[in-house]
Amino acid sequence: MTPRGPSLYGRLAGVITVVLAIGALVLGWAAWLYARVAADEAYDRLLVGAALQIAESVATEPGRVTVDPPISAFETLALATDDRIFYRVTDPAGDSLTGQDDLASARKQDRPGREPVLADGTYRGFPVRIVTLGRYVTGPGVDGWVEVTLAQTRLARLDLARDLTLKSLLLVLGMSVLALVALLLAVRVALRPLQAVQAAIAARDPKDLQPVEIEAPREVAMLVDSINHFLGRLAERVGGMERFIADAAHQIRTPLTALAAQVDLLSTESRADRRRQQTARVRERIEQLGRLTSQLLSHAMVIHRREVVQLGPVDLVPVAQAALKEAVPLSLDRDIRVVFEPAEPSLVIRGDRVSIGEVIANAVHNAIRHGAPGLLALRLSRDGEEAVVEIVDDGPGIPPADWEEVVKPFVRGDSEAAGSGLGLTIVADVVLAHGGRLTFRQDASGHFVVSLRFPLLSPAEDAKALTEDAA
């Protein structure tokens, strides 16, 4: 059973929830900052207004300055019932006229002026908002700036900021919940095509490997295309296996039937010479069946490796030499001169070492069995951007009219009447899978040549492959 992870809907819901939660937190923090600024602006206007009223109450008498803070100035600030008010008025000489003598001015080093200066500070352990402004006075014996400093604790400001923030948060949370619900519904609707694809595949017959025909959105259509591509590859592979199994069953049935008939004849034969002939025929049938079984297994192995094995750098020279030693039996019924002629010390291609060795061995075996009365040569050379492996024999070869047919499964040329018809099929399949070519020709000496041509690695690819091998 396929391991099941978290559902796609659950993942999307989780991501959307986290994003909305982070957005709500950011908006809440922004609302708090905005509420602080808005509360300060509102109460700063009241604070400045009260300071202006106090400044307007400043008067001069001969030789001194007087001030009588109006009650209305403090009544305005008294709207904030939990806050405390502190003030100080200084004359042109800097002496306190009234209020708290230790209340510091909001103005630091600037010269006195009419423009109010606002600042945050602490007075007697209370966080306060301070405003300082000046009024220029003149009179008998008096000339200079009178400075008014007014401070208010921040409790009402914080209460107003909290109230504004809470109302903003309620609005943000409400909108977030609505957005979450809407997005989850949208995700649910958007994922319905996946359920339709699942239902369409689940309802199919296990033997039905036709493409899934279903209308789907662009994003889901990509998934459907991938499924159809996989089904196409699977259908091609299953079809190939079915054809191979059917052909193999037919091909094996024939020699088995003949073998059974010859065994029956052998069991009833009484003459010694006839029994020897029948025994030789049974042995020949067994050898033929063994060769056929071996080539069937070889063909199946090549088809399997073509699908699953990743190609890598392969030096044809040692692979061809090993295949030649394996394919040439130690004992032959005739004297054959076997020659190995590599024109290059190394010919590196990108391929599957096992499959390439198998095809060279098959080509050599074909040359021994169906030709090569006295000569078998395996030559390796370079032709431009290709590596060339040539299997040369002095036999009659394959007629040119049969060159296109002999690479098909179970098709025998005139010279291959006793063969299985799979040797050259395996060779052709592997060479084609490696981007190469299989060709036949007669050389100048009249010898028959089977040529396997593979694309060589470029010098840069060759160096990289050697580096990877060393690592």
* Residue 107 reports pLDDT greater than 70: yes
| Average pLDDT along the chain | 82
CA pair distance 402, 406, nearest whole angstrom: 6
Long-range contact pairs involving 459-466 (C-beta distance under 8 Å, separation at least 24): 461/313, 461/350, 462/313, 462/348, 465/312, 465/313, 465/348, 465/350, 466/313
pLDDT of residue 152: 92
Mean pLDDT computed over 12-19: 89
- Which of the listed ranges 18-27, 226-235, 327-336 does the model predict with the highest average pLDDT? 18-27
pLDDT (mean) for 411-428: 59
Pick the more confident residue, 239 or 103: 103
Which one is predicted more confidently, 408 or 390? 390
- Give the whole-number percent of the chain exceeding pLDDT 70: 85
Crossing angle for the helix pair 353-370 and 316-327, nearest 10 degrees?
A: 40
Question: Confidence band (pLDDT; 50, 70, 90) for 410?
Answer: low
Phi, psi angle pair for 53, to nearest 5°: -65, -40
On the question of pLDDT at 465 being above 50, the answer is yes
Domain 10-162 has CATH 3.30.70: no
Distance of CA 263 to the CA centre of its chain: 62
More confident residue, 470 or 121: 121
- Ranges of each domain in the chain: 10-162, 207-307, 309-470
> For the segment 254-301, what is each residue's pLDDT rounded down to a tens digit?
677 777 777 777 777 777 777 787 787 778 777 767 766 766 666 666
In angstroms, what CA-CA distances link 414 with 395, 398, 399, 446, 452?
13, 7, 8, 18, 22
Let me know if domain 207-307 sits in CATH 3.40.50.
Answer: no
CA 182/CA 418 separation, integer angstroms: 75
Query: What pLDDT shows up at residue 417?
Result: 43
Mean pLDDT of 96-102: 90
Minimal CA–CA distance to 58: which of 21, 100, 89? 89
Quick check: 81 pLDDT over 80?
Answer: no
Kindly calculate the radius of gyration of the chain based on its CA atoms and give it in whole angstroms. Answer: 50
pLDDT of residue 470: 47
Q: Note the pLDDT of residue 215.
A: 75
Residue 225: pLDDT above 60? yes
The reported pLDDT for the residue numbered 418 is: 46
Q: Is the pLDDT of residue 421 over 70?
A: no
Given the DSSP bridges, would you call strands 448-455 and 386-393 parallel, antiparallel or unpaired? antiparallel
Q: What is the pLDDT of residue 415?
A: 46
Mean pLDDT of 1-8: 65
- pLDDT of residue 388 exceeding 90, the answer is yes
Of the listed ranges 70-74, 176-180, 187-191, 305-309, the least confidently predicted one is 305-309
CA dist 146 and 133 (Å) reads 9
Mean pLDDT throughout 104-116?
82
What's the start-to-end Cα distance of the chain, in Å? 38
Cα separation, 436 vs 438, whole angstroms: 7
DSSP 3-state of 413? coil
Residue 190 has pLDDT above 50, yes or no: yes
- Which of 137-141, 202-206, 321-325 is modeled with the greatest confidence? 321-325
**pLDDT tens by residue, 41-66:** 988 998 999 999 999 988 888 888 88
CATH 3.30.565.10 fits 309-470, yes or no: yes
Query: Which residue type is seen at 93?
Result: A
| Dist CA 415 CA 145 (whole Å) | 127
pLDDT(170) > 50: yes
CA distance 418 to 166: 95
**Residue 3: per-residue pLDDT:** 61
